[in-house]
């Protein structure tokens, strides 16, 4: 049996009351999954990708990451830049470094939308981000396990026809 996953929650505290709801849902989902976790906080959504990157490159072992935060549209284009760059930064890390990252940064028009999405009793986007992270982690472990389990057979030539799985 594999060990339980150890996850890092990175929460943006710009809207602390919304962050608290997201975190509550995330913690509940992690506990239900039997995962262990740590939490670090950053000022806003823009800093979340940097924190994930720093943690991923540290000597600490994290199996996955959950990004939580909220960006509410204001009167300027700042909203567009923060939303795009936080999402792009996390996706770049996930794709380049093979990280399991659950995205729970809300991008909304107003506080009412944010609260509805953050609440564990309503849309539970914090819990949803955890489930996405764990799903990616399961996929990552599956591929890593297949590679390790099939190491002795790796040298043997194999082929497959269309629609057939190789090494199943």
Assess if residue 160 is contained within a domain. no
Catalytic entry in 6, 17, 21, 78: 78
Q: What is the pLDDT of residues 19-35, one digit of tens each?
A: 999 999 999 999 999 99
Assess if residue 166 is contained within a domain. no
Assess if residue 1 is contained within a domain. no
Assess if residue 167 is contained within a domain. no
Q: Residue 161 CA to chain centroid, in angstroms?
A: 35
- Residues spanned by the domain of 96: 6-149
Domain count, the chain: 1
Assess if residue 156 is contained within a domain. no
**Model pTM score:** 0.85
- Is 78 part of the annotated catalytic residue set? yes
Token readout for 148 is 């390790």
For residue 72, give the CATH number of its domain. Answer: 3.40.50.960
Assess if residue 114 is contained within a domain. yes
Q: What is the pLDDT of residues 54-81, one digit of tens each?
A: 999 998 899 999 999 999 999 999 999 9
């Amino acid at each position: 049996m594999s060990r339980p996953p150890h996850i890092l929650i990175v929460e943006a505290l710009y809207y602390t009351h919304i962050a608290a709801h997201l975190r509550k849902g995330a913690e509940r989902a992690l506990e239900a999954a039997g995962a262990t976790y740590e939490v670090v906080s950053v000022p806003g959504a823009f800093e979340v990708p940097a924190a994930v990157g720093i943690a991923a490159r540290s000597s600490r072992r994290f199996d996955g990451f959950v990004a939580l935060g909220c960006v509410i549209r204001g009167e300027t284009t700042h909203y567009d830049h923060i939303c795009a760059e936080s999402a792009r930064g996390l996706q770049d890390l996930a794709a380049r470094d093979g990280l399991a990252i659950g995205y729970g940064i809300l991008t909304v028009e107003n506080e009412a939308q944010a609260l509805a999405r953050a609440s564990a009793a309503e849309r539970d986007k914090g819990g949803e981000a955890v489930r996405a992270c764990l799903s990616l982690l399961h996929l990552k472990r599956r591929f890593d396990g297949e590679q390790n389990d099939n190491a002795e057979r790796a040298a043997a030539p194999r082929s497959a026809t269309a629609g057939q799985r190789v090494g199943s």
